[in-house]
Amino acid sequence: MTVYAHAVAEAQIGAGIHCTAALCSDLPGEFDGESVKRSQIWGRGMAQIFASVSKEMHEEFDIEYMKKIMEPFGLVYYGCCEPLDRKIDIVEKIPHLRKISVTPWADVDVAAEAIGNRYVLANKPNPSSVAVSLDEDALRAEIGRTLKACKRNGCSCDIVLKDISSAGHDVRNLIRWEQIVMEMVQGY
């Protein structure tokens, strides 16, 4: 199992997409600092507006289009804030899929079982944990559940704290969040 925890920032060259870097050493070709082909970068798809529709509607009105749109990209990251834990079977129809978002509104155990070792589980812990003061016990429980689910199912995991609207006017909440998560990740 491979686990990554990081704060997302664009690379010095500005080659970033929402919640992940655009460039990847797993993809062919070298970036010359000026031009890049879609086959050399990540593609990113999401469908938050389909969060509460049936799996069939999601597939018909989004996944069918994503299959065509994402075909040129070297790797694909799908999902954002929509719970996809019970839709992995339709999401995996997207070509070059490598990473699937698992939000606080998804059941990480169900998602990890469906994802297995085929894709990266892109975990998005609940950002409310840093909004006022850091609840270290709640954070440890949430991250612990994710790491256990990933370990049990052989998932690689990417942990990203995103959608932060407040850190309670205290940057130490973010710093301590990162320290706790990294300690837990390094323990696996």
Q: pLDDT tens for residues 32-75?
A: 666 777 888 888 999 889 999 999 999 999 999 999 999 999 99
pLDDT at res. 132: 80
Q: Which pLDDT score, from 0 to 100, does residue 10 have?
A: 34
Strands 16-17 and 20-21: antiparallel
Give the domain extent around 59.
3-186
Name the pairing type of β-strands 120-123 and 97-102.
parallel
Which CATH number is 164's domain given? 3.20.20.210
> What CA–CA distances, in Å, run from 146 to 9, 16, 97, 167?
23, 25, 21, 22
Distance CA 126, CA 100 (A): 17
Residue 33 has a pLDDT of 64
Domain count, the chain: 1
pLDDT at residue 31, rounded to an integer? 61
Residue 63 token pair: 């996944």
Using 50 as the pLDDT threshold, list the residues of the chain that sit under it. Answer: 1-14
